[in-house]
Structure 1
Amino acid sequence: MARRCCRLRNILICVCTPCCCLTALSIYAIVTISLQVNSMMLGHVPRVSSNLASPHFVAAGASSNGSNPSVPKTFWERHLRSDALWNRLQRHVDRHFNPIVRKEKSDTLLERSSFDESLLPQSYFEVTGMDSVRENFERLPKQVEEFASNMHKRNYSILIRPDGECGAQSKQEKEPPLILFAIKSTALNFRNRQVIRQTWGRVGWVEGQRINSSDGDMGGGYIRRVFLLGKETPEDLGVDISHLLRAESKRHGDILQWDFKDTFFNLTLKDVLFWRWFSRHCGKPLFVLKGDDDVFINTPKLISYLQDQLEEHRSRNTLHEFMVGEVIGSALPNRVSRSKYFIPEGFYRGLYPMYAGGGGVVYSGELARRLHNISKTIHLFPIDDVYVGMCMIRLNAHPVHHPAFRTFDFTEKEEAQPCSYHTILLVHRRSPREVVDLWANLKDTREQCQDVPLRAVEKKKQRATPPPSV
């Protein structure tokens, strides 16, 4: 009897042990996969460059105490229960890049040469079709609700296009243009555009200028130009000026206008549609300067600076991620309702990514094409320079801060120096009259200030408060 019991016990062990092991393994696999899927549903986490000493980073000029505040790897609120509209829309898109669901790795997917343009509209209608989301729509401020109601739209027809394939250009171009000036303007800002054409934005060959006393050959480069406009209706303006805009385009050949309402929140559309147009029509320009029509640019020094950058980044094979400007880090959404930068918590939660101030920024033509591609995976955001930062972080690229880009102006003491405008590449918010005077002064003082270097990165503690634009 004892022998029979022993034999029965051995049989039970042989049968049950594999079953128990298989059950335990199945439970482990289910828990592991569930955790990974849940993590990916919270949003794709962009890779952090390995050359960063730590996950903490802040742009020069943005810290209040010189310390490095912690910035999360994702720039939006990752909590699954967040009901902010933009966050929900973006999470829905991010699931498309879940490596558990898709066989390809998410990083590989995000570097694809082409994305399906139906991805964003599809996610938009699926999310906004939910009852809870429709209720949140009604609680948004009017201007934010109007933006949110149209943020899935990107297919706007071109009303006016430049004469040249890629903006106004010199007929005598003998080499690829160094820079395309892509300037955001509005229909009524004719004086701004005309002054730019006559001063720093002239097309054709422009000679460079030494950016420090040790420079040798100053060289030069070809310039092209295009103005980016939306549409303003006679009802908005009180008068129909479309015929004047067409006449201006016929004379100068540098207007690119789309059929969307020209508002502050739609400045992001100008970026996205410009990248599409550039990718299709501009194979030659090496760099793009995207700026507002009230900036002043030291074009000769910008040319010399970009020639140096071209050589350096080509040697390091990093031209495809080159962007430079006045960089803002660790910025928070503006929650002041009376501000034009106001973003309510019902629309977006989280920090902003590192981004270059939208008043004026330079990036390579290669990067412009990559931005066009990656923008097909990121829902529009009302603040244009923040949106560019979102696209950059998805490309695992970071804008470079340079103090010669003064998108938030000089101090009075700095501007009073006789050679102050020879130390910068760009300064923001100058009237047409000021631009004319500054351009003339730049020429008059060129010999006097020829050895004055560009502003360098400050070694001391940076300025006390973040820029007011956020």
Structure 2
Amino acid sequence: PMSLLHTVFYDGTIQWRRIHFLATLPQTQNISSKHELNMKNQTTVTVKMIQQVPQTQPAQMTPVPYVPPGPYVVEYPYEYHFTINEPHRCEQEKPYVVFVIHVAPHNRAHRDAVRSTWGSEGLVLDKVMKVFFLLGMQTGGDAQQVHERLMQESKEHRDLIQSDFVDSYKNLTIKTMVMLEWLNLFCSNASYAMKVDSDIFVNVPKMVKLLQKAPKTNYMTGHVVYSNPVLRDPDYRWYVPEEILPDSIYPPYAFGLGYILSLDLPKKLIEASRHVKALYIEDAYLGLCMKHLGILPIDPPDKDYFNDLPLSYSPCALSKIIAITIDPSIDRVKMWKDFKEQAKDC
């Protein structure tokens, strides 16, 4: 007989298992056998075993191309693996804040811009900062070339974390959950982490001053979104069908451009994800997991601290925020130098 093995849900939680083959199963017959086990000459046990023994050759395995489950279904939880990793740096360097910057594998320019600007601040107000870049797998004809360049870049900077999911917009939830898994496994000794998009400027000293007065546990802050409706029109970019999420309103969540969380949360959010169906809108999905935990994200003291709209360039304007989107036309290195020289006079 032919059998197609596919996706498994178990134990009342959600778990993806990809087993992609057609198995031609041989006919079997029952065979009885007896085995005598002598246990240090103290006793003899006779065990009768019924075995399923094939009458013919072993199963023939025919590979079947993997078919994605659909554009609105996210394959998480699933056991992804780290293909490039820095498993010991947090343990060795004991950072106060870990920045995890989400970036495309091919986007070396954004990584270098961060390294030469705000990401270069390793010690701020006597607190150790550490920057890592998180990426998935490149696809397409240049995938091998990108991989080779990443391996060299990793040797040079030791700040890349790569996992074996396809790096794409629809997989941002996977990327976010892999980030939480990495923090839980390799960086739980830090106090806080900040998720940052690669086109964001971070005012690190202002962030540290905020965290010195922040809760140590169950803490998430950023640009918190309230009462955001779930979009049901398929023509909208963030459309979500009702069978994926029946709720009409999202719970409060921190907008994905940049948010901060205490390092007790990754483990809790990973556990919550076992019970909350994954949603491809990654920041809203974290809000659903936070709701499951009974924890709310917290507004910062000033709601303008996290701004998703680019400001017109001004060192004094940058001195008043923690995270903001950078207009692509702006020279980031020049902006950084101006900020360092002029912001103290604002």
TM-score (norm 2): 0.74
SS of the residue corresponding to residue 241 of structure 1 reads helix
CA apart distance, 1:144: 7.8
Query: Matches of 1:181 and 1:392 in 2, distance apart?
Result: 21
Q: What's the counterpart of residue 448 of structure 1?
A: 345
Q: Is the 8 A contact 2:279 2:285 kept in 1?
A: yes
Amino acid of the structure 2 residue aligned with 1:424 = I
Q: What is the alpha-carbon root mean square deviation over aligned residues?
A: 3.0
Percent of residue pairs bearing the same amino acid type: 27
Query: Matches of 1:177 and 1:447 in 2, distance apart?
Result: 25
Q: Is the 8 A contact 2:305 2:320 kept in 1?
A: no
CA apart distance, 1:337: 3.3
1:288 maps onto 2:193 in alignment: yes
* Residues 335 and 122 of structure 1, relative CA distance in 2, 3 Å threshold: closer
Amino acid of the structure 2 residue aligned with 1:121 = Q
Query: Matches of 2:154 and 2:315 in 1, distance apart?
Result: 38
1:229 maps onto 2:135 in alignment: yes
Query: Matches of 2:227 and 2:324 in 1, distance apart?
Result: 23
Query: Higher strand share goes to which structure?
Result: 2
Query: Matches of 2:291 and 2:211 in 1, distance apart?
Result: 23
Structure 2 counterpart of 1:349, from 246, 253, 269: 246
**Residue by residue, what CA displacement relative to the aligned partner does 1:172-223 show, whole Å, maximum 9, x if unpaired?**
x4xx4210001111111111011111111126312xxxxxxxxxxxx33101
**Residue by residue, what CA displacement relative to the aligned partner does 1:35-57 show, whole Å, maximum 9, x if unpaired?**
xxxxxxxxxxxxxxxxxxxxxxx
Q: What's the counterpart of residue 78 of structure 2?
A: 154
* Residues 442 and 333 of structure 1, relative CA distance in 2, 3 Å threshold: same
Query: Matches of 1:123 and 1:259 in 2, distance apart?
Result: 15
Amino acid of the structure 2 residue aligned with 1:396 = G
Of stretches 271-280 and 432-441 in structure 1, the one that deviates more from structure 2 is 432-441
For these two proteins, the number of residue pairs brought into alignment is 288
Amino acid of the structure 1 residue aligned with 2:306 = R
Structure 1 counterpart of 2:149, from 244, 248, 253: 244
SS of the residue corresponding to residue 344 of structure 2 reads coil
* Residues 203 and 161 of structure 1, relative CA distance in 2, 3 Å threshold: farther
Amino acid of the structure 2 residue aligned with 1:231 = M
For structure 1, list consecutive stretches of 5 or more residues without a partner in the other structure: 1-91, 94-115, 125-141, 207-218, 314-318, 450-470
Query: Higher helix share goes to which structure?
Result: 1
Q: What's the counterpart of residue 70 of structure 2?
A: 145
Structure 2 counterpart of 1:166, from 69, 87, 90: 90
* Residues 248 and 417 of structure 1, relative CA distance in 2, 3 Å threshold: closer
Q: Is the 8 A contact 1:286 1:364 kept in 2?
A: yes
Q: Is the 8 A contact 1:234 1:240 kept in 2?
A: no
Query: Matches of 1:304 and 1:337 in 2, distance apart?
Result: 43
Structure 1 counterpart of 2:272, from 374, 378, 388: 374
Q: What's the counterpart of residue 262 of structure 2?
A: 364
Q: What's the counterpart of residue 98 of structure 2?
A: 180
**Residue by residue, what CA displacement relative to the aligned partner does 1:321-357 show, whole Å, maximum 9, x if unpaired?**
1111001111112344344322233433322111010
1:406 maps onto 2:306 in alignment: yes
Amino acid of the structure 2 residue aligned with 1:166 = C
SS of the residue corresponding to residue 176 of structure 2 reads helix
For structure 2, list consecutive stretches of 5 or more residues without a partner in the other structure: 1-8, 19-66
Amino acid of the structure 2 residue aligned with 1:345 = E
Q: What's the counterpart of residue 283 of structure 2?
A: 385
CA apart distance, 1:438: 2.5
Q: What's the counterpart of residue 193 of structure 1?
A: 111
Structure number with bigger Rg: 1
Q: What's the counterpart of residue 174 of structure 2?
A: 269
Q: What's the counterpart of residue 298 of structure 1?
A: 203
SS of the residue corresponding to residue 362 of structure 1 reads strand
* Residues 280 and 418 of structure 1, relative CA distance in 2, 3 Å threshold: closer
Asked which structure has the greater RCO (Cα within 8 Å, sep 6+), the reply is 1
Query: Matches of 1:395 and 1:439 in 2, distance apart?
Result: 39
Query: Matches of 2:313 and 2:79 in 1, distance apart?
Result: 47
